[in-house]
Every structure is written in C-alpha cells, then in structure tokens.
Amino acid sequence: MLKATNLSKAYSVGSLGREKFYAVDNVNFEIQEREIVSLIGESGSGKTTIGKLILRLTKPTSGKIVFNDLDITMLKSLKEYYKHVQGIFQDPFSSYNPIFKVDRVFDMVREEFYPSESVNSWKEKVTGVIESIGLNPKEVLGKFPHQLSGGQLQRLLIARALLMETKFLVADEIISMLDASTRIDILNILVKLKERGLSVLFITHDLSLGYYISDKTVILYRGSIMEYGDTEKIFNNSAHPYTKMLLNSIPSLHQKWSNTDASLSGRSAPVGYCKFYDRCPLGDERCKNIELRKVEENHFAACKNV
C-alpha cells in the first residue's frame, strides 16, 4: 500500500541557514492494506512532519514515498492522489471556514472531484455516509462549525474522506482534543473503516491509544525510528531503552504517580550515534551507526543490545 524509503526532511537553521536540522532522518517503514499503524513519540519527534510528507504538504529532502507502486515525490499533479489519500488533523475547528456551514466541505468534494454527480444523488450519498459514522444528518447538516462539538466535526471530516475513493488516511492527533468517551467512538470508527479496506497512519503521543487501535507501531525519537513492529510485541517485549522509558512513564489509575526521570539532558547525541544516546543509561561507544535489528519476527529495534 504505502512504503517510505530513506525518508528525510531537513530545515536550514543557524546563522545564514548554514546548518541543517533533520525533523525526519532516514526513516523506513511500510503500511499494508487494511492495516492501522501507530506513529508514536514525544512532541517534536517528527510525527506530524511524516504525515505532511505523505500528504505532500511538504517535500522530502531525500528519500521517497511509494503509494501503490507510484512514487508520490515525483508527482506534478496531486488531484488523483488526493482521491485516495486524505488527512485529518488535531484541531477540527481549524479545518472549517467559520463563515460557512459544514455542508460546504461536502459540496467542495463534489465540485472538485465529482462535478458530473447530480445534486440530489450527492445529497443521498452524503446522508448515507454521515449515518454510517454515527451521526444524524438532520442534526448536523445546515449548521455552522461553532454550533457543533469537536467530536461531531471530526466525524464529519471522516465522512468527507469516505465520500472519496479513500484508501489511506493520515490521522494526526485527531482525538487529542476530545473527551474520553468521544475518543473511543472515533477509534472504533477507524477500526470499522479498516475492516472496509482502509489503511490508517495513526499519529499520537498517547501510547494507550496506540495500543488500543493499531496492528503495528513505530516508535519515533528526534526524527529517527527507535523501534518498529507488531504492536503486541513492542508493548509486551520492548527492546529499545527509549520505548521502555515511554512505557514506564504511563500513569496508572491504581497507584499514585512515582518519580520517573524522563527529562532531556540538554545535550545532543554525537553525530552518527543513536539519537537517544544522550539520555540512555546504557549508552557507550557501541551506539554508533546503529540500524534497526531484528528482535523477533515482525519486531525490530535500533539498539546495540538487540
């Protein structure tokens, strides 16, 4: 379905832009059909940048992204690509123009991609899709964004994607602004979409949500993959010290918060070393030039201890 190979995105920083900051650094992963992959990491780890690269909202510095045997980094026209690949973002309110009713997001899809579709036929499709994601069309259509909740707006964005021939969805922190009960509803919708043939890149900083929904997990840190593989194996048999630190930082409902040292050291890892080197208690000279190594079947980690 989708494969990222040696994917990097660098930005010019420093005096006169002579230095380079790699938001994404030589990343490789695959997402198959009917698969949900969680991209997990701290703020600033490069998760959203990867999502933007897949959506061609920004271009990679190097590497490529292949979707169904098509290198999207070489595409000049993206209209056909956007029929199949769509994105939903963290703040649902920012995805709507507040001066227009929410119906406009559906009208724009018809005007841009299906101009030959009759208005009545399109309205029937819109009604059917809205009902399929658990909303009553009479309660949401004809309303302005401020008249609806964040959960309703996110569901409508999912409905918009379903009106197209969407095969791949980039879901970037789409439930972080919603309450707990609404979060589960949205996650369950994504699972149902997967059963219908949709693949999803689920970007989150919340490990518990990633565990709940995903088939595979990518653990990202400072633009590099620390661990990658089947979700169950990563959560139950984590191999990289960074993954272990993240799992140990999850609060438990049944005990009070204990002191966990997850602070940044303020240093940067030496060039060529594991990005987590400056924070890792096991770091030494063997941490240089470490690539993903096989831990077990469908489970890889970039660590010398594997």
225 or 206, greater pLDDT:
225
Protein fold of 2-250+259-301: Rossmann fold (3.40.50)
pTM, full prediction: 0.87
Which pLDDT value is given to residue 266?
A: 45
Which pLDDT value is given to residue 249?
A: 78
Report yes or no: 227 and 238 within 8 Å, Cβ to Cβ: yes
Report yes or no: 48 and 223 within 8 Å, Cβ to Cβ: no
Boundaries of every domain in the chain: 2-250+259-301
183 pLDDT band, cuts 50/70/90, is confident
Per the DSSP assignment, residues forming a β-bridge with 209 are none
Q: Say whether pLDDT at 284 is over 90.
A: no
Q: Say whether pLDDT at 257 is over 70.
A: no
Distance CA 300, CA 306 (A): 9
